[in-house]
Chain A
Amino acid sequence: MLWYSSEVWQSISKTTRPYLFPSVGLPYLGNMNDSFEDMIACPKCDALHRIPDVEKGAQARCARCDTVLMAPRDGAMTRIVMLSATGLILMIAAVFFPFLELSTHGLGRKSSVFDAILAFSDGLMLPLSFAVAALIVVLPITRLIALIYVFAPMALGWAPARRARAVFRMAEVIRPWAMAEIFIIGVAVALVKVAGLATVTLGPAFWAFVLLVIVTALKDNFMCRVTVWQTLNQRSV
């Protein structure tokens, strides 16, 4: 009953071959369960696949749109927890240490992330202050804590924490709004802008932020959303 064509095979080079649901017949009408555990629908294009056996380190991609459906990796959970914890420590350092120091004509000024947040704090622009605080501090920290909460028990081989699913869902919603790494590029641009005006020195927080960007990129690289959900589901039974 399994079907695949050479075209599909080409479009999923170096990946595990997904087995497509047969295109005719309605063999599942008799299924009275609420879910179909041996199948997966691509979240991006709705194509049905039979869940293949994917080896550790390999990827299964959607036959139609090439989206990565499954990407199990050895120790992915542990790595996510470690990188999130590192990110959290760096984040705390980044917030409290000064990240730039400016001096000219004997005048000097150090500024921390808090100062950048408070830049919009007068009058009409106050809401923007809150928004900036959320984007560069509150949401990234919330996301890191959420990921640790979800993955730490699983990395240790325990059952998932209470409400782990809701917490992970929230972490995924936050994802595009956590903008710490964009802030760093902003710092670099600002540096160039004031370089002509005064002497600028980079503070420790700047380097903490740079490391944070790298850690975040590594961590997101280890996360495959569908795989995470499958693991959460298996473990919580």
Chain B
Amino acid sequence: MADAEPAQRIVTARSAGLVGCAECGRVHRRDVEVCTVCGSLLRSRDGSSLQKVWAWLIAGMIVYIPANIYPMLRTSTLGHTSESTIIGGVLELVEFGSYGVAFIVFFASVVIPISKFIAIAYLAYRVHTGKRGRARHLHLYEVVEFIGRWSMIDVFVVAILSALVQLNFVATINPGIAAVSFALSVAFTMISANSFDPRLIWDTREGKLA
């Protein structure tokens, strides 16, 4: 919809030689350092933004690997112990016939994290190439920012199950080490997305050099 923007007619605070506050939108002269309205640090663009994005993103991807290899849950029923990974847990739910919940868990712990990795990498890569982005790229970023935290659901499920199912010999559920690395992966990618300065999406290479 907003892709029909008259790109050449839009004046940015940066191209007008001013600086806009990323928190409250107030416009200042370029040499002002702290926003007078909200007290945020003023930066026309966050120069180290992309470095932070890549660093946290890669950290998030690395810890996502053990999160899938190691068990998320250790279940003991009547003296018999079994361990299940993220995917194992989803398959178990499918066997129970709870397709809806299996879908939620699969979506939250596999689809969302992986699409997040791809989406953040894509946005950061576009900024590197210096092509001017469009409104849909900002919307992609907003979706990533909004949906990322929902991946934490699996960690909470593990916590709840471990708290609830402590019936001595009959049934016990304990958390596995994958819960920690999964939680870290979600946190790292959230920090990565938060470090991204969406105003970079709109800059062309020339704008960056200016």
Contacts and interface: CB of A to CB of B under 8 A. Distances in A.
Interface in B5-47: 5-7, 9-14, 16-29, 32, 36-40
Interface stretch (A78-86, A140-148, A151-159, A177-185): A177-185
A230 to B, nearest CB: 8
Interface residues of A, number: 83
B202 interface: yes
Contact of B1 (A11, A28, A168): A11
A221 interface: no
Interface string A94-113: 00000010101101010100
B67 interface: no
Nearest to B105: A189
A122 to B, nearest CB: 8
A35 B32 contact: yes
A50 B26 CA distance: 11
A132 interface: yes
Interface string A123-155: 011011001100110000000000000000000
In the A-B complex, the 3 residue pairs with the closest CB atoms: A41-B20, A186-B156, A229-B24
Interface of A: 3, 5, 7-8, 10-11, 20-23, 26, 28, 31, 33-36, 39-48, 63-67, 69, 100, 102, 104-105, 107, 109, 111, 115-120, 124-125, 127-128, 131-132, 135-136, 165-166, 168-169, 172, 176-177, 179, 182-183, 185-190, 192-194, 196-198, 200, 225-226, 229-230, 232-233
Interface of B: 1-2, 4-7, 9-14, 16-29, 32, 36-40, 77, 93, 96, 98, 101, 104-105, 135, 138, 145, 148-150, 152-168, 170-171, 175, 177, 179-180, 183, 187, 190, 194, 198-199, 201-202
